[in-house]
Amino acid sequence: MHDMTQTHFKVEITSKHKLFDLHLRETLRYRDLIFLFVKRDFISLYKQTVLGPLWALIQPLMTTLVFTVVFGNMARLTTADTDDSIRVPAFLFYMAGSICWTFFSSVVSSTSGTFLTNARIMGKVYYPRLVSPVAAAFSQLISYAIQLGLFFILWGICLAAGAEIRVTPRLLLIPLLILHLLILSLGCGIVTASVTTKYRDLMRVVSFGLQLWHYATPIAYGLKLIPGKMLGWYMLNPVTPVITAFRYAVFGSGYFDIGYYMLSLGVSIGVFFAGLILFGRIERTFTDTI
């Protein structure tokens, strides 16, 4: 007679989880499914559109053009982060901040609806639920990579035309900044996804909150616009050090404070792991609340 106690399973599905059991290793084993979800999300994003993925280029160009006209030519807001900042083309300045913010807000928005948009498939098939927000984030990363490529094409054209841009080893910071922004946005999105399973009204709050957060981040203006006595409080916004560090890297001049940056990185990692813990607790009962 076969002894069932000696049976070993590769995957054991149970409602009992340890508090810090984040299922990261199990999620990694489902990387093929993540790839399929990324492909699905990216295709559905531009499906039945005339221009398709070109919208990933049109959006930042139009946004940057509006910023240049409204904030640069009409409002004449400064694009300097410090007193000794070099004068970079306004169009590049606005685009640098715009593409980073678009990536951040898109990841937060797409991952915050994870349980709601995938409720049907989650109720029928088992897979690590963390796969869905990770796939949503990486599908937005593809769009960001396209926009970043366009930015560096324009960056190279301006550099060849004699713009005051300094090419320095600080460009090597860019992969770290992208990872930093991905961790922060994914963490915020996962926290929101966990809470909105029970309180649907928060989805509207998130949309409105992202708009307010946008204006509280130096995208359409430089840090020099902020009074010195308010700068410390202003830098507590975890997105601000990433945006200013990105401009510091691509333009070779600007504002970079290692203390504020490390604080932002610590907050981002903290939010990310807090989101994973909360997500793990919610995923066991989300079908009862959706």
Predicted local confidence at residue 60, as pLDDT: 87
What are the pLDDT digits (tens) for 61-76? 899 999 999 998 888 8
Identity (one letter) of the amino acid at 21?
D
The pLDDT-based confidence of 1 (bands split at 50, 70, 90) is very low
What are the pLDDT digits (tens) for 108-154? 988 887 777 777 777 677 777 888 888 989 989 998 999 999 999 99
Question: What is this structure's pTM?
Answer: 0.87
- Name 142's Cβ contacts closer than 8 Å, sequence gap at least 6: 38, 42
Whether the CB-CB separation of 193 and 108 falls below 8 Å is answered with no
Predicted local confidence at residue 285, as pLDDT: 63
Q: Is the pLDDT of residue 270 over 90?
A: yes
- Name 153's Cβ contacts closer than 8 Å, sequence gap at least 6: none
The pLDDT-based confidence of 249 (bands split at 50, 70, 90) is very high
Mean predicted lDDT score pLDDT of the chain: 84
Whether the CB-CB separation of 187 and 130 falls below 8 Å is answered with no
The neighbour count for residue 131, using CB atoms within 10 Å, is 22
Percent of the chain with pLDDT over 90: 44
The end-to-end CA distance of the chain, in Å, is 44
The residue among 225, 204, 240, 203 whose CA lies nearest residue 101 is: 240
What are the pLDDT digits (tens) for 177-221? 999 999 999 999 998 888 877 777 677 788 888 999 999 999 999
The neighbour count for residue 92, using CB atoms within 10 Å, is 22
- Name 188's Cβ contacts closer than 8 Å, sequence gap at least 6: 108, 112, 271, 275
Find where tokens 């796939």 sit: 135
What are the pLDDT digits (tens) for 6-36? 555 555 555 555 545 556 777 788 888 889 8
Whether the CB-CB separation of 72 and 94 falls below 8 Å is answered with yes
- d(CA 121, CA 37) in angstroms, rounded, equals 12
Of the ranges 92-101, 189-198, 244-253, which one carries the lowest mean pLDDT score?
189-198
Predicted local confidence at residue 21, as pLDDT: 56
